[in-house]
Amino acid sequence: MKLTLEGLGVVKWDERGLVPVVAQEADGTVLMLAWANREALEATLRGGRATYWSRSRKALWRKGDQSGHVQELIEARYDCDGDAVLYRVRQTGPACHEGKRSCFD
């Protein structure tokens, strides 16, 4: 189901206030798995660029700000349980920090 700012109440956050997010290229390729808090989801939906929560840095992380490997949001969806989110994106450059198109390559 499509995720909107008004519909964020359907998301089931874990005990840390996070939800797993799968980033998928428009062609169907699964690119990566990351985490988002409410602020990251709001930033993604408002700004049109994939934003995540860095668990190691404990800070928002907008994909591509440092690398230039931007994820432009096509749509955000949530699963039937509301405990996972899917970002459908247009990826610029590799998604993986190791320089691969996908973290699952």
Could you read off the pLDDT of 62-77 as tens digits, one per residue? 999 999 999 999 999 9
74 within some domain: yes
104 within some domain: no
Q: Buried b / exposed e across 72-100, counting CB within 10 Å, b at 16+? A: ebeebebeeebebbbbbbebeebbeeeee
Q: What is the pTM of this model?
A: 0.94
For residue 74, what is the domain's CATH number?
3.10.20.810
Question: Which residue range is the domain that position 22 belongs to?
Answer: 8-91
Could you read off the pLDDT of 26-80 as tens digits, one per residue? 999 999 999 999 999 999 999 999 999 999 999 999 999 999 999 999 999 999 9
30 within some domain: yes
52 within some domain: yes
1 within some domain: no
70 within some domain: yes
105 within some domain: no
pLDDT, mean of residues 84-97:
97
Domains identified in the chain, total number: 1
